[in-house]
Amino acid sequence: MAGIKALVSLSFSGALGLTFLLLGCALEQFGVYWPLFVLIFYVISPLPNLIATRLGDDTDSSSNTCRELAHFLTTGIVISAFGLPVILARKDVIKWGACGLVMAGNGVIFLTILGFFLVFGRGDDFTWEQW
């Protein structure tokens, strides 16, 4: 039952983050859809972690090169997702209000992705075949 509650809350927070992103694009005073390019960052941000868990060894050492590289790449992807709206706003492609809404959406979405990995990525009894 706890897994269902976590899934529902993660779904709600993901929908809230996407609502912020779409409001930053679709409101009449903004009206530019360039911020939707951050969707690419949402899709590729979990990939380094997923690859590292597949390829990395299962030792419990404090230093795992594959996992550290995955964290480094994920950090670069997340920072790029926060940097893209700022660059677009500084070049007057989008307005600063849209940039703020996209930044709020980024924060919510990336916290949702982190929550998904914390809830469903650590358990030994969880398998993807359940889905």
pLDDT beyond 50 at 14: yes
Q: What is the pLDDT of residues 105-123, one digit of tens each?
A: 999 999 999 999 888 876 5
Query: How far is 82 from 17, CA to CA, in rounded Å?
Result: 14
Torsion sign, CA atoms 109, 51, 71, 33 = negative
DSSP state for residue 125 in the 8-state scheme: S
Full-model pTM:
0.84
User: What are the extents of the domains in the chain?
Assistant: 9-56+65-110
Contacts of residue 39, defined as CB under 8 A and 6 or more positions apart, other chains included, come to 21
Q: What is the pLDDT of residues 90-105, one digit of tens each?
A: 999 999 999 999 999 9
Query: How far is 88 from 78, CA to CA, in rounded Å?
Result: 16
